[in-house]
Amino acid sequence: MARALAIAERDEKPAIQEVPAQIPEAGQVRVAVEAASVNGIDAATAAGYLWDLMPHTFPVTLGRDFAGLVQAVGDGVTNVQVGDRVAGVITGMALGKGAIADSATVDAGTTAVIPEAVSSAQAAGLGLVGLTATALLDALKLTADDTVLVSGATGGVGAVAVQLAAATGAKVIGTARPGAAEFVRGLGAHEVVDYTADLGAAVQVVAPDGVTAVVHAAGDPATLAGVLQPGGRLASALGATPEQAGRDDVTVLTAMADATSEQLTKLLEATANGSLQVPVFRTYTFDEAHQAVTDFGNHKLGKLVIIIR
């Protein structure tokens, strides 16, 4: 058996409990988890918002990304071996397997060896949000001529997106509620706008002609599309549609995290060489894991990480 933050049955709350331990199948690895992070999908699952939207196989263990030591490998695994410290992401549209557990079983193709300079807490906090931010930036193809608004810059996805956007040479404007501007500037944003007031007016002050690109990691698509110049593009992590954006002279792109060893390795190497920060706002013990999920929507800056061992 394994210990996990899991939901035993429909309409129950998550709690630390024993769940069946998994034997890695071909192409999979089992990892002794050292740290796991909380993502929006965990908060939504815990709140019961996904009961009828995604298939649940009970007990449903929460958590989509983690770092830990490989305990066992299935047939055909060549990219990692027993004893390696790896980061990994659990992908897919089904809920059941999770990362907030003392052991997790995942496809080896969605794991990568963690460089020594990167802590397990950082690696766990980077996985899903780093891959999502990468997909958003890949969709936008920013250049130094762009002015980009990152909406949700104080969150996990947005914090990485601000840094990746700044690295392209584009002018970066990040959103923050009052009191959080310094955090966003510290990630490399040139300007910060208060999204709790009139966002359009605040963007106009710092970008009088509007922006050429928007990273949508939070907020109302129509409001965000409203600050785009004609011909601009909006990349959404929330599946925003052109209809929601409400403009036919801009391009709306959808970005999904593409979990591969190669993408994870790039993000981990950038963290190791200091070009990418993983802002961990708070760490929790395994016993506090449910609290971490509860705290997810409570105005944190960056990531919440659970230290399992």
Ligand X SMILES: NC(=O)c1ccc[n+]([C@@H]2O[C@H](COP(=O)([O-])OP(=O)(O)OC[C@H]3O[C@@H](n4cnc5c(N)ncnc54)[C@H](OP(=O)(O)O)[C@@H]3O)[C@@H](O)[C@H]2O)c1
Which residues sit at the interface with ligand X, rule CB under 6 A? 39-40, 128-129, 132, 151-152, 154-158, 175, 177, 195, 217-219, 237-238, 255-257, 299
**Closest separation in Å from C-beta 223 to ligand X:** 8
Q: Is 24 or 98 the residue whose CB approaches ligand X more closely?
A: 98
Q: Which two tokens stand for residue 69?
A: 């030591």
**Closest separation in Å from C-beta 57 to ligand X:** 21
**Closest separation in Å from C-beta 127 to ligand X:** 10
**Closest separation in Å from C-beta 297 to ligand X:** 6
**Closest separation in Å from C-beta 263 to ligand X:** 12
What is the Cα–Cα distance from 144 to 224, expressed in whole angstroms?
21
**Closest separation in Å from C-beta 135 to ligand X:** 7
Q: Is 77 or 304 the residue whose CB approaches ligand X more closely?
A: 304
Which of 157, 186, 159, 163 lies closest to 65 in space, CA to CA?
Answer: 157
Which of 25, 11, 12 lies closest to 97 in space, CA to CA?
Answer: 25
Q: Which residue is nearest to ligand X (CB)?
A: 155
Long-range Cβ contacts of 277-282 (<8 Å, 24+ apart): 277/159, 277/163, 277/187, 278/122, 278/123, 278/125, 278/126, 278/130, 278/160, 278/302, 278/303, 279/125, 279/159, 279/183, 279/187, 279/303, 280/121, 280/122, 280/125, 280/304, 280/305
Q: Is 172 or 217 the residue whose CB approaches ligand X more closely?
A: 217
Q: Is 132 or 212 the residue whose CB approaches ligand X more closely?
A: 132
Which of 212, 181, 215, 213 lies closest to 196 in space, CA to CA?
Answer: 181
